Amino acid sequence: MKTVNARAVFGKDKKFKTTTIERRDVGAKDVLIDIKFAGICHSDIHTAREEWGDIEYPLVPGHEIAGVVSEVGTEVTKYKIGDHVGVGCMVNSCGECENCVKGEEQYCLKGMVGTYAGVDQYGNGEKTQGGYSTHIVVTENFVLKLPDSIELDEAAPLLCAGITTYSPLRHWEAGPGKHVAIVGLGGLGHMAVKIAHAMGAEVTVLSQTMDKEEDGKMFGADHYYATKDDATFDKLAGSFDLIINTVSANVELDSFLKLLRVNGTMVNVGAPPEPMSVGVFNLLTNRRSFAGSMIGGIKQTQEMLDFCAEHRLGATIEVISADDIDDAYERVVHSDVRYRFVIDVATMA
Ligand code: NAP
Ligand code: ZN
């Protein structure tokens, strides 16, 4: 066992505190990673504040992990000391079910193991703790190779924000000739714009206001509209083949569904705790679909990282000290993120 520095919350209304956690000994198939940067995802906030359900505290969040390999187990074949690597939202799965075999471990029939707030039922049964810490030990099959051409701090958010948007964009075939709208220009949204643009789609941002128009267009958006302006919904009625909704709160789905053309799909990746409802006639009209998508499998995550390297896409980030996590959470909740906070783990030493 190795005792390492971390930042944890000890209750839903509590602030982050400096603490230590135990990491397991490096097993035969394990990789020990010196974490350099950890992104702050809105899911960390939903979890830490018990918005999705009860949590066993203390909780160390963080599932956008970028670092350097510092030790490998005797049977590890994919990684060596010094490699730049990442870990995303999962650290294990059964490896045998239909979905794992297909490389969709996020839909493991027996349940994937979350990077934090989970229990590694396929390993030694330990409670998982995430990336707001100096080191992590992960079985090599859940470690990703980070391209050397992307700086570690800009690569960290790809492990969740990148794959969560890349996966539905690929599944619903964003590309040339496709009109794609991205709702919400936060951590996920800004990566969705960059990736959809790189795939060749015509990209529209639907943000609450016009405040971030210049940034959205710099990320690759062709058009930018404010959802606070009702005229937006009249103007864009029946326009899109695909809408990716990244909003962390409930939105009025019917207003967005009306923006889909024939056979269009609206994919919710945003994960607000409360249910949302749909007027069925907005689905019947134009044979529209309403769908969801959760992160992406390990194979596709590697594909996304290679795609981002090829297109020189990293996240647009604000690097913070570990002492500023609470402030960063408040800014994320108030849609004041430009466009992902990334913790410099050196500040935890
Ligand atoms: P984020 O950085 O906070 O971005 C969300 C954006 O949504 C905000 O920047 C804001 O954009 C917009 N927004 C926020 N509140 C709103 C409201 N009340 N009404 C309308 N728009 C609002 O969050 P994130 O890290 O990108 O995560 C977004 C959501 O995806 C979270 O719910 C998270 O848990 C979920 N998530 C899901 C998966 C998955 O596998 N499906 C993976 C990761 C995250 P504008 O200022 O541009 O309007
Ligand atoms: Zn996330």
The closest-lying atom of ligand 1 relative to the alpha carbon of residue 189 is 26
User: 267 has which bridge partners?
Assistant: 244, 291
Nearest to 222 by CA among 206, 209, 208: 206
User: Residue 175 above 90 pLDDT?
Assistant: yes
9-64 pLDDT tens trace? 999 999 999 999 999 999 999 999 999 999 999 999 999 999 999 999 999 999 99
User: Would you call 306 helix, strand, or coil by DSSP?
Assistant: helix
In the chain, where does DSSP find H-type helix?
42-48, 98-101, 152-155, 161-171, 187-198, 213-219, 231-235, 253-257, 281-284, 298-310, 325-333
User: Residue 248 above 90 pLDDT?
Assistant: yes
- Best mutation site among 49, 188, 329 for ligand 1, i.e. most ligand atoms within 8 A of its Cβ? 188
Neighbours of ion ligand 2 (CB under 5 A): 41, 43, 160
Q: Is the CB of 39 under 6 A from ligand 1?
A: no
66-116 pLDDT tens trace? 999 999 999 999 999 999 999 999 999 999 999 999 999 999 999 999 999
User: Residue 316 above 90 pLDDT?
Assistant: yes
Between the CA of 8 and the centroid of ligand 1 the distance, in Å, is 22
Rounded to 5°, the CA angle 46-47-50 comes to: 85
Express as a percent the part of the chain with pLDDT over 90: 99
The closest-lying atom of ligand 1 relative to the alpha carbon of residue 339 is 2
Are the C-beta atoms of 168 and 292 separated by less than 8 Å? no
Q: Spell out a b/e string for 198-236, using b for 16 or more CB atoms within 10 Å of the CB, else e.
A: bbebbbbbbbbeeebbebbeebbbebbbbbeeeebbeeb
> What is the spatial distance between Cα 329 and Cα 324, in angstroms, rounded to a whole number?
9
> What is the spatial distance between Cα 330 and Cα 225, in angstroms, rounded to a whole number?
25
- Best mutation site among 204, 206, 247, 331 for ligand 1, i.e. most ligand atoms within 8 A of its Cβ? 247
249-275 pLDDT tens trace? 999 999 999 999 999 999 999 999 999
User: Residue 6 above 90 pLDDT?
Assistant: yes
User: Ligand 1 atom 13: the closest Cα is on which residue?
Assistant: 247
Q: Is the CB of 270 under 6 A from ligand 1?
A: yes
User: 202 has which bridge partners?
Assistant: 179
pLDDT value of position 349: 79
Domain 2-160+314-348 part of CATH 2.40.110.10: no
Cα 196 from chain centroid (whole Å): 16
Phi–psi pair at 224, nearest 5 degrees? -150, 125
Between the CA of 29 and the centroid of ligand 1 the distance, in Å, is 35
Are the C-beta atoms of 42 and 332 separated by less than 8 Å? yes
pTM listed for this prediction: 0.98
CATH of domain 162-292: 3.40.50.720
Q: Is the CB of 183 under 6 A from ligand 1?
A: no
User: Ligand 1 atom 18: the closest Cα is on which residue?
Assistant: 249
User: Residue 215 above 90 pLDDT?
Assistant: yes
User: Residue 149 above 90 pLDDT?
Assistant: yes
Q: Where are the domains of the chain?
A: 2-160+314-348, 162-292
